[in-house]
Amino acid sequence: MLQEKLPMTPMRLMTGPLLANSYILCEDDCVLVDPAGDVEDILRVLRGRNLRFVVATHMHFDHIWSAKALVDSTGADFLVHRLDWELRDEFLSMAEELGFRPPAPPDRAEFVEDGQTIWHGLRIMHTPGHTPGSISLVGSGFILTGDLLFNGSVGRTDLLASDSRALASSICRIYREIPHHYVVYPGHGPPTTVGAEATGNPFLRASSCSTSS
């Protein structure tokens, strides 16, 4: 389990083409989850601190908008689930349908898996549904859920390679495994808590989760 210590609090930046949330977590060095904004904005917030990892909750273009620029300019490693990395070209071309020029993905990636701890107790949960390789990141007192679970909503499942049953199963797993006082930092919109969504999310409450899902 996570070691007890002063919890790091993810810093939320709301920038980029579809106002996806980027989160910066810092201890002695920093991790950036979902580089949605312009690289200059992100570097300004980092203020010279060492960026160790850039993590993508999934490979949709608005969540990796400046991933390549950030990795190229800082030397950070890019972490993503293999299932989303393999679909990167298809996912990034979806930007064109929305009138954006697709960003280039980073040149290379390191793959993360369910249960892996990547940095200072920050643990990967493989939470497929919105995309096959969607991940959540669990820290001490919080979970970053990407486009799986939002404040009062859930991720879209009408997109390429998305799966509504997998999405429900992933959300139910969060309700079951993550303490309900944990803060949820979603990929879009304001934070919430696991408990608030488990009892009040209009799309999926914990009471609708079967014991097997």
How many Cβ atoms sit within 10 Å of the Cβ of residue 158?
6
Q: Based on CB atoms, which residue is closest to Zn ion, 2 or 203?
A: 203
The 131-150 contact track toward Zn ion, x by CB under 5 A, reads ----------------x---
Q: Based on CB atoms, which residue is closest to Zn ion, 140 or 162?
A: 162
Distance, in Å, from the CA atom of 14 to the CA atom of 21, rounded to the nearest integer, reads 5
Q: Based on CB atoms, which residue is closest to Zn ion, 127 or 140?
A: 127
How many Cβ atoms sit within 10 Å of the Cβ of residue 90?
11
Choices 59-67, 71-79, 99-107, 116-124 (CB under 5 A): range interacting with Zn ion: 59-67
Q: Based on CB atoms, which residue is closest to Zn ion, 147 or 197?
A: 147
Choices 36-44, 99-107, 182-190, 196-204 (CB under 5 A): range interacting with Zn ion: 182-190
Half-sphere exposure of 196 (CA within 13 A, CB side): 13
Comparing C-alpha atoms, which of 26, 80, 73, 82 is closest to residue 49? Answer: 26
Contact 80, 133 (CB under 8 A): yes
Residues in 18-57 at the binding interface with Zn ion, rule: CB under 5 A = 20
The minimum distance between CB 157 and Zn ion, in angstroms, equals 11
Q: Which residue has the tokens 């797993």?
A: 173
Choices 108-116, 121-129, 183-191, 202-210 (CB under 5 A): range interacting with Zn ion: 183-191
Helix (H, G, I), strand (E, B) or coil at 181: coil
Distance, in Å, from the CA atom of 145 to the CA atom of 6, rounded to the nearest integer, reads 21
Under the binding rule (CB under 5 A), the answer on residue 60 touching Zn ion is yes
Please report, as ranges, the residues that interact with Zn ion according to CB under 5 A. Answer: 20, 60, 147, 187
